[in-house]
Structure 1
Amino acid sequence: MRWTVGINKRLNRDGRVYQDRTHVFTAFQDHEATVYRDGAAGPRDFHALDHPYAGLVLEVVAAESPERRAELLEWLRARHLPKRLAGSPAAMVTVFRPTPLPLDRMSYVKQVEGVDTRLTLLWFLQRDPRDCWEERFTGLDEDVARSGLGRVELVAPFIPTIPGTDRYVDELR
């Protein structure tokens, strides 16, 4: 973590940081769990960022209280995620919990909210999220709310880009 702050300070000095942006969810995260759709078949979680997945869905879930986050995590790991993964285009879901940012973070980055209650889920997809959004990712908030353990704060799809190119620039809003 310390090296990231140092790199950011150097990039700022060199004028290589785009300052006109809003940090919506900037956080360091610790891995809590991974749930696989196909058990031992397929890429492992430590290969997930290198594997050529067709898309990713980021989900942020908040427990009702800090004391209930462990219970929410267990419900996600043992019941909700296996059920949602069965027959889905998601090969795995990794679950993380945010940690506080260091005190010497960049001044324009606010401290992480919900450090004691939030969980961050990454759904690694073998299909483009636009092709399975309605079928697989609407209703996540209802499932979590019904559990009584928390609420979904964000669900956002992403597709891979090709580094070093301007592909998809015309699609930015």
Structure 2
Amino acid sequence: MRHLKTTVHPDIEHLDNQTVYKRNAARAIVVDGEDILMLYTERYHDYSIPGGGLDDGEDVIAGMVRELEEETGAQNIHSIKPFGIFEEFRPWYKDDADVIHMISYCYTCKINRELGETNYEDYEIKNGMKPVWINIHDAIAHNERTIAESDKKGMSIERETFLLQLVAKEML
């Protein structure tokens, strides 16, 4: 799979003598015309691509399908194709490491337009997460405004906006 980008959070000056926690994730890019299936998160006031961390020993595509079903209620997931890998190093908030090295395996796929029931984790419910179909250009503009103006933004918004821009350029 092609490498899309590697980013290092500005708070990380170096990795020398840092404990790094590696986390693999899978993300699902679902486009229908100019609409894209996104997760709107009220807490961070942003749009993100469905996906998340893989369980130990979990196959990447199986994890992508699981996350897509849990977070959006997607049904009839098919035509799965590799899109690219996005790597990031950012501060880690748990005691077991200083830095997280997140490797996101991104895939495109098709689903039924109508979504079923979601199965959110507690923190996703508390963060106000919900699946939405949105025009990709509107999602990009919204995230760019959040980056520029909001103190609520999370650490993943730069990744999400980069991926949205690349999807718009390559798939529309």
* TM-score when normalising by structure 2: 0.28
Name the one with the larger strand percent.
2
